[in-house]
Amino acid sequence: MKRLVIATRGSALALWQAEHVKARLAAVAPELVVELNVIKTSGDLIVDVPLAKVGGKGLFVKEIEQALIERTADLAVHSMKDVPAELAPGLSLAAISTREVPWDALCARERTTLDTLKKGAVVGTSSMRRQAQLLARRPDLQIKMLRGNVPTRIRKLDDGEFDAVVLAAAGLTRLGMADRITQELGLETSIPAVAQGVLAIETRDGDDEVRQIVRKAIHDEHTAQKIAAERAFLAKMGGSCQTPLAAHAIPLPDDQVKVVGMCGMPDGTRILKAQVIGALKDAASLGERLADELLAQGAREILDATKL
């Protein structure tokens, strides 16, 4: 194997992520020639409609997966939070990266926090998860749809379309834009999306040589176990990345982990939360237990009410 092709989206963040993986591959196999196959996905082309109405964040993944199926690429780099609970047949996740800062971040035109934003401030987000938690804390806010890549979203903020926007802190950090963060929104304010801050490397089943080198280059098993809990929660809830669900796994001493979860109405009027603690080696079953806890509180009613 002398050449590998990485399928990636063309946004600034996606290209950063692909170049990061390329550099990691070069570090463990300098003889490899690694190239990028930049693909314009439906999620990139449809920017004037909420993602939840046109297929969710899977729109950022399916054309990338098609490149793997058609063998025009050998591996794909995704933001893990965009990856649906079920992958396309014949494909699997070869590696999970270490996690960048997982929190949501408030970016405001003035140096302010969520609690000190002016009454009735216009806040941009396209996430029902973020919207639910923002309105639970500040029901007076006006939530306005925000689409586009990270620089585009910041430009819309600077142009005065919004008083503040909420983005993933990981993306801002990776693009060298962490200085735009006016407040990191911790667990008490906004539980992150499943797998937020993590990169996923997808390959074809049976491409063992590719899988082996990718795992050597970037895989982090400790992070992968925590992500297994979060994704098991998502799968058990039957949700997508655009449903009002959140889960985050927090490592504890002695190989224990705490998994916290949320399900909420988009208007913030009903927010359900739960947490479970157990052994990290049982991460997937912990995620399912967390789902059971929220379902017992009535989460199914919320999910049914928010289906499009």
Domains, the chain: 3-97+198-219 (3.40.190.10), 104-185 (3.40.190.10), 229-306 (3.30.160.40)
List residues bridging with 78 in a β-sheet: 200
Closest CA relative to residue 21, chosen from 204, 260, 198 = 198
Kindly indicate the confidence band of residue 63, based on its pLDDT and cuts at 50, 70 and 90: confident
Determine if residue 85 is left, alpha or beta; phi over 0 gives left, psi from -120 to 50 gives alpha, anything else beta.
alpha
Per-residue pLDDT tens for 175-215? 999 999 999 999 999 999 999 999 999 999 999 999 999 99
- Contact of 249 with 194, CB cutoff 8 Å: no
Which pairing describes strands 3-8 and 33-38: parallel, antiparallel, or unpaired? parallel
If pLDDT is split at 50, 70 and 90, which confidence band does 60 have? confident
Least confident of 57-66, 86-95, 219-228: 57-66
pLDDT in tens, 236-294: 998 765 679 999 999 999 999 999 999 999 999 999 999 999 999 999 999 999 999 99
Chain centroid offset of residue 191 CA? 12
Structure tokens at 15: 């290209």
| Nearest CA-CA partner of 156 in 131, 122, 196, 179 | 122
Helix axes 208-218, 12-28, angle to 10 degrees: 100
Q: What is the pLDDT of residue 51?
A: 53
Helix, strand, coil percentages in the chain from 3-state DSSP, rounded to 5 = 40, 25, 35
Q: pLDDT digits over 83-137, tens only?
A: 887 889 999 999 999 999 999 999 999 899 999 999 999 999 989 999 999 999 9
**109: helix, strand or coil:** coil
- Catalytically active residues, by annotation: 82
pLDDT score at 85: 77
Q: What is the pTM of this model?
A: 0.90
Query: Under DSSP, is residue 29 helix (H, G, I), strand (E, B) or coil?
Result: coil
Task: Determine the residue type at 186.
Answer: G
The first and second tokens of residue 136, run together, are 């639970």
pLDDT at 106: 98
- Residue for token digits 């927010």? 271
Count Cβ atoms within 10 A of the Cβ of residue 101 and give its class: 0-12 exposed, 13-18 middle, 19 or more buried: middle
Furthest-apart CA pair in the chain: how many Å? Answer: 59
Partners of 278 in the beta sheet? 257
Q: How far apart are CA 294 and CA 155, in angstroms?
A: 38
- Please name which of 216, 217, 236 lies closest in space to residue 283, comparing C-alpha atoms: 236
- Pairing mode, strands 75-79 and 3-8: parallel
Please count the other Cβ atoms lying within 10 Å of the Cβ belonging to residue 177: 19
CA distance 134 to 138: 6
